[in-house]
Amino acid sequence: MAKFLVEGGHPVSGTIRPAGNKNEALPILAAALLTGEEVHIQNVPGIGDVNNLLTILESIGAATRRPGAHEITIRAETVRSTGLPVELCQKIRASVLLSAPLLVRCGHAEIPLPGGDRIGRRRIDTHLFGFEALGAKYELADDVYRLWCDGRLKGADILLDEASVTATENLVMAAALAEGETILRNAASEPHVQQLCNFLNHLGARIEGIGSNVLTIQGVERLRGGTHCIAADYLEVGSFIALAAVTHGELLIQDAAPEYMRMILTQFQRLGIEVEIRQQDIFVPSQQPLKIKPDLYTSLVKIDDGPWPAFPADMMSIALVAATQTQGTVMIFEKMFESRLFFVDRLISMGANIILCDPHRAVVVGPTPLSRRVMSSPDIRAGMALLIAALCAQGISEIQNIEQIDRGYERLDERLAALGARIHRVEG
């Protein structure tokens, strides 16, 4: 396996442009299977998860082309298989997003239980209950769930038992081609969900309430082809902001989608991280306060996550590392995944002053100097967090299993090296 050798203690400074949003690209690629016409997608990030999903699409009959470095054209005139390859599905969570396209195109789908990050319990029940409400039937056997329906799906009034992003995306795709009206209540409203809905409307779907937690979908008989440009990855933007702050660098992030950054920047301010919004760019000054801003009438600051527009769960690992370099005490309260904080033992071994209270809460007292360590990357976001820690630590750290980082961040070592980071990839 490949690894990073990282020499810390050097400011990360300069100008960078974020890649396209991974969490938007994956459902958009899956949705291309809903039509037999050509779909052209721009600003697609060159990451492992995208490559794996494209391979899955090709395995079931979709034709794909790459006319440019970050462009993909997909045409799925026919679907020759409704069963997905087990080995590839075990690598990515996004394979679950092919459930709806296969169900509406073929009336049948066989989906191996998806893989992806091991950050805690990740239910598929909400997906299956929603499909059942639309008239589908399902069964689970031998770690494969099978969906089927007789004829066209029927619209329904559905209350999701949790505001699941992927369940919302699956059910929006299914309802777009169902007969009649579907109302999705307690729907997720993250930016990538909004972008999927806008993309489907561009293809001829009729979705209202985009950006809210109640979506109304009038089913149509068919979708046409079209073009879509993936928005900037606001999670990558947040990672770069934290990295510049803790390494005392000066960074300009171009086309940073600041409209999606409001809650992230609000919580970063509580950690003493300040930025300037310059139209569509975000500037991180080199001199950061890095001091906890206490709440009124209480000395303990709490940063917690939740469904949009709350602080994103995928930014919790980054916020925790930033807190180790900030003066004061903060509680990091991860509400959504019970295993996401289990990477903190690596930070403690580096010298961080962290008390893991339980699977969901960690108290961080900073600032503490970090020292080099040999570590393994457990998931995409924890991998990025450990890389940030290594870049502000003293000495040369080794980060193993960087395939996890490559799944979500494009050519990260090359892009950060251009900003002055001392990072070297060693192929295993």
- Rounded Cα distance between 162 and 146, Å, is 22
Phi and psi dihedrals of 151, rounded to 5?
A: 80, -155
Tokens linked to 374: 């040999």
* Catalytic-residue membership of 413: no
Name the active-site residue from 49, 117, 314, 413: 117
Whether the link from the prior residue into 309 is cis, omega within 30° of 0, is: yes
Instruction: Specify the DSSP element, H or E, that contains 37.
Output: none
Looking from the CA of 395 toward its CB, the CA atoms found within 13 Å total 11
How far is Cα 286 from Cα 326, in angstroms, rounded to an integer?
A: 15
> Residue 53, Cα to own-chain centre: how many angstroms?
14
* Cα of 424 vs its chain's centroid, Å: 25
Of the candidates 303, 297, 272, 239, which has an alpha carbon nearest to the alpha carbon of residue 367? 272
Q: Cβ distance 244 to 287 under 8 Å?
A: no
Tell me the pairing of strands 396-400 and 3-7: antiparallel
Alpha helices for 181-261 (secondary structure H)? 191-202, 234-246
Name which of 255, 228, 204 is nearest 71 in CA terms: 228
Among 318, 337, 306, CA closest to 381: 318
Q: Which two tokens stand for residue 391?
A: 């870049």
Give catalytic residues, as residue numbers. Answer: 117
